[in-house]
């Protein structure tokens, strides 16, 4: 049970982010709802960005609970989704159109299972150039969208679980558990290379952040209904 009067003292809100929304869109929506409910501005921040083309668990912290954001961000994440084999996109996902195609006839379930075990480890990963990484004071995605050259350094990540199965049309259905800072788009891209083909992320849902689960989250619309209700929630 959440008491709206406690949002300033600090609450953790679990939101099921819709497809097409940015993480800031969700923060802005909840902030506006709280302001309407409380009659004053309440501080709101999120504990880990989700790309616009991803869905799933986004954790918002309000008021004094924003001090917990870094702790929550440092916990392990879980994702599910679909990786499309046989092509690549500049953004490594659906934000951009496929720019190259690759053979897939040599890929079977046995090969997929063998290759994914290589990724369950501590490793160095390079973020997509279409990411929020800072490059000389500018966002990498802003430079990429302008057609400028972007160089990003590799950073350490940990993949603790990687389950996958090959489906029709050379799509891989997967579940991944990983450390903070892991880009699943880059994982999809690297998997394509490891399979001697190409790949991009066709869909992504974040299902868990530490102990917090997507099954306990509400959509922005559901939060709106609860926050603007006349009874205590």
Supply the CATH number for residue 20's domain. 3.30.2350.10
Beta bridge partners of 139: 134
Same domain, 109 and 200: yes
pLDDT of residue 147: 81
Same domain, 16 and 101: no
pLDDT above 50 (res 68): yes
The catalytically annotated residue of 51, 93, 99, 216 is 51
Please report, rounded to a whole number, the percentage of residues in the chain having pLDDT higher than 70.
96
pLDDT-derived band at 233 (thresholds 50, 70, 90) equals very low
- Spatial distance between the Cα atoms of 42 and 153, rounded to a whole number of angstroms: 37
Specify whether the CB–CB gap between 82 and 175 falls below 8 A. Answer: no
- 47: domain range? 4-74+211-227
pLDDT tens-digit map of 154-191: 999 999 999 999 999 999 999 999 999 999 999 999 99
Q: Hey, what are 61's tokens?
A: 């912290």
- Spatial distance between the Cα atoms of 170 and 140, rounded to a whole number of angstroms: 30
Residue 90 backbone dihedrals phi, psi, to 5 degrees: -60, -30
Q: What is the pTM of this model?
A: 0.91
Same domain, 87 and 145: yes
Least confident of 8-17, 90-99, 123-132: 123-132
Same domain, 173 and 66: no
Q: For 159, what's the count of Cα atoms within 13 Å in the CB-facing half-sphere?
A: 23
Residue 171 located in a structural domain = yes
Residue 220 located in a structural domain = yes
Specify whether the CB–CB gap between 132 and 51 falls below 8 A. Answer: no
Cα separations in angstroms, 199 against 103, 157, 172, 185: 11, 20, 10, 9
pLDDT tens-digit map of 105-143: 999 999 999 999 999 999 999 988 877 787 778 887 788
142 is catalytic: no
pLDDT above 90 (res 78): yes
The SS3 of residue 33 is helix
Residue 191 located in a structural domain = yes
pLDDT above 80 (res 230): no
Number of domains in the chain: 2
Q: Hey, what are 146's tokens?
A: 């302008």
Least confident of 38-42, 156-160, 172-176, 194-198: 38-42
Q: Hey, what are 211's tokens?
A: 């102990």
């Amino acid at each position: 049970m959440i008491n709206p009067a406690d949002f300033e003292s600090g609450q953790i809100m679990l939101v099921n982010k819709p497809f097409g929304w940015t993480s800031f869109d969700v923060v802005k929506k909840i902030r506006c709802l709280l302001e309407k409910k409380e009659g004053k501005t309440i501080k709101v921040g999120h504990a880990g960005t989700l790309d616009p083309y991803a869905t799933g668990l986004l954790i918002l912290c309000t008021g004094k609970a924003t001090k917990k954001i870094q702790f929550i961000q440092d916990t392990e994440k879980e994702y599910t989704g679909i990786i499309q084999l046989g092509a690549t996109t500049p953004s490594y996902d659906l934000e951009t159109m496929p720019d190259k195609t690759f053979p897939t006839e040599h890929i079977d379930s046995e090969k997929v299972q063998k290759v994914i075990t290589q990724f369950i480890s501590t490793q160095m990963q390079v973020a997509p150039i279409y990411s929020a990484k800072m490059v000389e004071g500018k966002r990498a995605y802003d430079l990429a969208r302008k057609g400028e050259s972007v160089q990003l350094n590799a950073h350490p990540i940990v993949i603790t679980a990687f389950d996958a199965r090959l489906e029709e049309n050379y799509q891989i259905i997967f579940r991944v558990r990983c450390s903070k800072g892991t880009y699943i788009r880059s994982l999809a891209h690297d998997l394509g290379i490891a399979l001697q083909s190409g790949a991009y992320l066709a869909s992504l849902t974040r299902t868990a952040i530490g102990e917090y689960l997507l099954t306990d989250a509400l959509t922005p619309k559901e939060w709106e209904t609860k926050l603007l209700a006349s009874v205590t929630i």
